[in-house]
Structure 1
Amino acid sequence: MTTPSLLIQVLLTSLLHIFHWILARLRVTQLAQRSLLRILASGPIPQHVGFVMDGNRRYARGKGKLVQEGHGDGYLALRRVLEICLRLNIRCVSVYAFAIDNFKRPEQEVKALMQLAESKLLELCSHGDLLQEYGVKLNVIGRISLFPESVQAAVRRAEDLTKENNRSILNVCMPYSSRDEMTTAVEDCIRGALLKDVDYFSADDPIEDITEDTLNSHLMSVKRGSPPLDILVRTSGVKRLSDFMLWQCCENTQLHFSKTYWPDFGLFDFVPIILEWQRSVWFQETSHFV
């Protein structure tokens, strides 16, 4: 016998497929886009979405562009996707902008990325720009000391310009790796535990006080106010996490791998992901009543 929860799940899945079909065939105007986002925002909305912004270089090669131009178009995609998230009232967005290992890339590409980071950080936070319009606080998460001094100065200025904003959070993770974040959290936990008891050779071992919650609270992103990660999206068709928020996505996080290169990623790619997340939330809620 078919249960009510199963019928609801089938109905929601059917509606999701119909919506995919409609999106694939419509050219949506800006007004229609905003109306669509308002409708979506009336349902359950994730509090924290992460993006692995992959495919800039392959996009550039496919378009006959320089790699630097691909990264520039990737920045425009970040602005576009961020505005979609903010219109949906998503509280926190985290983006993987530059991995620590990316310093191993060709010198010319790294230099271009540093110049892009310096200029776009300040552009993002300029008066009247997207972050100020939506009250977004910018956090740069990672080993900032590895950046050239000029980029470090841009990071400090950008964070200072948005430090009073409290409606939403944008975490730009660079230069970042999840293993480094977890290692730093462990070091902070041990240092804090030992400071509680100067005589740490005593019988009462303060390190025993370290729990999963303790470690979680010392993660760079959590210390900067990030809620639990609900959705992680990686573009370009690659199905790897690539050392991004491994701790955060180990529980109750939906993983989505889009075939679209990041510079082309937009509304039609993201809306089905939100619909799928909403479907799962609705199904969980209805299953409680069976």
Structure 2
Amino acid sequence: MVLRRGLRWIYNKIVTNTQRCIISILTAGPVPRHVAFVMDGNRRYARIHGKEVQQGHMEGFVALRRVLDICLRMNVHCVSAYAFAIDNFNRPKEEVDALMNLAQSKLLELCNEGDLLDEYGVRLNIVGRIELFPKALQEAIRKAENMTRQNNKAILNLHMAYASTDEMTTAIEDCVKFGLTHNIDPDTYFTQEEIDKHLMTTAKGSPPLDVLIRTSGVKRLSNYLVWQCCQNTQIQFSSIYWPDFGFWDFIPIILDYQRKIWSRRISA
């Protein structure tokens, strides 16, 4: 037993040092400032492993912390994650209730043990229709956001009760209200740049989206950051279910990003 623990410690040490070395090499090249994840596959992961759906979502939150740590060690400035779509309210009530309870408990856990966010100076943003959530979850959201409000080195966006179409519609409505209130000529005011400024994600201080990753092999955006993906965003699809997604799945994506950046610079 002692020998087994010793071997496990050595193995973990080798893996950690190897990862640290790879990250050091990669960060010498171009690193995306903003990476977003569609965390897909929690339910299928649970079914394949004979677990309850709620357990799949629980392990999905563990994966989010793991991937966030990798991104922060690579100096990615902003990480966004699609945590709960507005359409997810249409799922079975027991699953929605379980997700609400899980989100509340994890946010409260973050308030009490915000080591990762504090270590890297990460500001937490919850982006979406927060008013649609139960009051207790809304309180947990406000508490978690306020706890990290002074952090300014990196950003974590959790898109909850979110839909890209809703974000774009709201941004246009806000533009119209602002223009009418300030009597601005619509021909000069209603531009793509002005609408972008009013997007919920942009208003939270997020830079342009460089890479969007969707797990589980599904190849669609599912109403997530559609506006942000319209120009230079590199969209990557992984066949790995989200709870299994980790370092060795992420590195090839970063290498592909760097290859395309170098190719663009050479041809410019």
* Secondary structure of residue in 1 paired with 2:35: strand
- Segments of 4+ moved more than 6 angstroms: none
Match for 2:73 among 87, 100, 118? 87
Q: Is contact 1:190–1:207 with CA below 8 Å preserved after alignment?
A: no
Aligned residue in 2 for 1:166 = 152
Match for 1:212 among 168, 171, 192? 192
* Secondary structure of residue in 2 paired with 1:95: strand
Superposed CA offset, 1:99-156 (max 9, x none): 0010010111001000010011122343452111110000000000000000000000
Aligned residue in 1 for 2:247 = 267
* Secondary structure of residue in 1 paired with 2:37: strand
Q: Is contact 1:132–1:165 with CA below 8 Å preserved after alignment?
A: yes
| Rounded Cα–Cα distance in structure 2 between residues aligned with 1:129 and 1:111 | 27
| Rounded Cα–Cα distance in structure 1 between residues aligned with 2:89 and 2:114 | 33
| Rounded Cα–Cα distance in structure 2 between residues aligned with 1:126 and 1:287 | 50
Amino acid at match of 2:50: G
Superposed CA offset, 1:189-234 (max 9, x none): 000000112xxxxxx8446521000000000010010000000000
Aligned residue in 2 for 1:276 = 256
| Rounded Cα–Cα distance in structure 2 between residues aligned with 1:150 and 1:181 | 24
Amino acid at match of 2:149: K
Aligned residue in 2 for 1:19 = none
The answer to whether structure 1 residue 250 and structure 2 residue 230 are counterparts is yes
Superposed CA offset, 1:85-112 (max 9, x none): 0000000000000000100101110010
Match for 1:222 among 179, 202, 205? 202
The answer to whether structure 1 residue 97 and structure 2 residue 108 are counterparts is no
Range that drifts further, 27-36 or 152-161: 27-36
Superposed CA offset, 1:222-269 (max 9, x none): 001000000000000000100000000000000101000000000111
Q: Is contact 1:99–1:175 with CA below 8 Å preserved after alignment?
A: yes
Match for 2:19 among 19, 33, 51? 33
Higher Cα radius of gyration: 1
Q: Is contact 1:125–1:132 with CA below 8 Å preserved after alignment?
A: no
Cα RMSD of the aligned pairs, angstroms, is: 1.3
TM-score by length of 2: 0.93
Amino acid at match of 1:79: R
TM-score by length of 1: 0.86
Residues 1-290 of structure 1 aligned to structure 2 (within 5 Å): 29-197=15-183, 205-206=185-186, 208-288=188-268
- For structure 1, the 5+ residue unaligned runs are 1-26, 198-203
* Secondary structure of residue in 1 paired with 2:46: helix
Overall identity of the aligned pairs, in %: 59
Q: Is contact 1:229–1:253 with CA below 8 Å preserved after alignment?
A: yes
Q: Is contact 1:193–1:207 with CA below 8 Å preserved after alignment?
A: no
| Rounded Cα–Cα distance in structure 1 between residues aligned with 2:209 and 2:114 | 29
Q: CA deviation at 1:163?
A: 0.2
Q: Is contact 1:144–1:175 with CA below 8 Å preserved after alignment?
A: yes
- For structure 2, the 5+ residue unaligned runs are 1-12
Amino acid at match of 1:152: Q
